């Protein structure tokens, strides 16, 4: 595993309980950062459980007009496409909670007259100079996070913060992703994971030793906090 805070895991009975817990934790973290008179810097993830949590966010617990948001990865499809993480986040909470569009840093879309590599480099210019406050990550059954997949060369990228991904094992095949170098530049990382299909990957990610090539989730840790928020099924493979 990389350096950073030791992992902690919190288990909830089912996906409804988990989504509620994520939403309340996220609101509380945003409010705490804002109480320090800072604008929170958060990296969003996609995925079913993340979207369920976003749909439960409320306007009365944090000032969503004063939050700055990025995305850990994105499908390289046209703007507004239903597969895009920014579109799904907008539908789930960005519009409802009136997050200013200038505070939402979407990754470039297909059709923007750029190559995938150019789009990745352009997005790197939007990243903050300092660390993120919080990086949210889902995880696939294969242990991938963002669009960093087992066995892919991007796992070993050490010079770039954002990379292009071709041949994704999950469609669509072309994606843009933050690298470990960028994802680890954060105070806190929360993994949001549900379902028994991911239990094996959770167990591998939290094992005392293991392979980054096999389980890329092992490569991301926060400097102060690394928290796994799980439902009972996802946690079923843990000791």
The string of DSSP codes covering 135-154 is: EEE---TT--BTTB-TT-GG
Q: At what angle do helices 48-55 and 15-35 cross, to 10 degrees?
A: 60
DSSP 8-state assignment for residue 68: E
Predicted pLDDT at 111? 86
Specify burial of residue 40 (Cβ count, 10 A radius: 0-12, 13-18, 19+).
buried
Nearest to 188 by CA among 1, 34, 29, 12: 29
* For residues 226-238, average pLDDT: 97
Residues 101-138 have pLDDT tens digits of 999 999 999 986 889 999 999 999 999 999 999 999 99
Asked if 119 and 76 count as a contact pair (C-beta separation under 8 A), the reply is yes
Please say if the pLDDT value at position 2 is more than 70. Answer: no
**DSSP per-residue letters across 145-201:** BTTB-TT-GGGG--S-SEEEE-S-SSSSS-EEEE-HHHHTSEEEEEEEE-SGGGHHH
153: left (phi over 0), alpha (psi -120 to 50) or beta: alpha
Q: What's the chain's average pLDDT?
A: 96
Q: Cα dist. 140→13, 53, 80, 124 in Å?
A: 20, 17, 24, 24
> Is the pLDDT reported for residue 4 higher than 70?
no
Residue 107 burial by CB count (10 A; 0-12/13-18/19+): exposed, middle or buried? buried
The 162-165 sheet, strands edge to edge: 73-75, 175-178, 162-165
What pLDDT is recorded for position 113? Answer: 82
Q: For 192-229, write each residue's pLDDT tens digit.
A: 999 999 999 999 999 999 999 999 999 999 999 999 99
SS3 at position 69: strand
Q: How many CA atoms lie within 13 A of 192 on its CB side?
A: 30
Q: What does pTM read for this prediction?
A: 0.96
The CATH architecture annotation of domain 14-218+227-237 reads: 3-Layer(aba) Sandwich (3.40)
Separation of first and last alpha carbons in the chain: 19
CA-based radius of gyration for the chain: 17
Domain boundaries, the chain: 14-218+227-237
For residue range 130-187, list pLDDT tens digits in order: 999 999 999 999 999 999 999 999 999 999 999 999 999 989 999 999 999 999 999 9
pLDDT for res 1:
47
What value does the mean pLDDT take over residues 66-95? 97
Contacts of 10 (CB under 8 A, 6+ apart): 21, 227, 228, 229, 230
Q: What is the pLDDT of residue 6?
A: 75
Residue 3 has pLDDT above 60, yes or no: no
Q: What mean pLDDT is predicted for residues 30-55? A: 98
CB 21 within 8 A of CB 239: no
Task: Specify the pLDDT at position 5.
Answer: 64
pLDDT at 30: 98
């Amino acid at each position: 595993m990389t350096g950073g805070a030791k992992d902690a895991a919190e288990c909830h009975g089912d996906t409804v309980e988990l989504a509620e817990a994520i939403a309340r934790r996220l609101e509380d973290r945003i409010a705490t950062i804002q109480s320090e008179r800072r604008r929170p810097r958060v990296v969003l993830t996609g995925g079913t459980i993340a979207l369920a949590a976003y749909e439960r966010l409320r306007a009365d617990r944090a000032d969503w007009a004063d939050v700055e948001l990025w995305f850990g990865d994105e499908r390289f499809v046209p703007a507004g496409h239903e597969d895009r993480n920014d579109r799904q986040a907008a539908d789930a909470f960005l519009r409802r909670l009136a997050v200013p569009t200038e505070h939402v840093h979407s990754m470039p879309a297909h059709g923007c007259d750029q190559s995938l590599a150019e789009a990745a480099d352009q997005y790197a210019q939007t990243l903050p100079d300092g660390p993120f406050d919080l990086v949210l990550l889902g995880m696939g059954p294969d242990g991938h996070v963002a669009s960093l997949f087992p066995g892919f060369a991007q796992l070993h990228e050490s010079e770039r913060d954002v990379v292009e991904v071709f041949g994704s094992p999950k469609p669509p095949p072309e994606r843009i992703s933050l690298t470990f170098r960028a994802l680890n530049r954060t105070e806190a990382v929360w993994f949001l994971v549900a379902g028994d299909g991911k239990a094996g990957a959770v167990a591998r990610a939290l094992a005392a030793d293991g392979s980054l090539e096999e389980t890329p989730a092992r490569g991301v840790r926060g400097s102060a906090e690394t928290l796994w928020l799980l439902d009972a099924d996802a946690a079923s493979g843990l000791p």
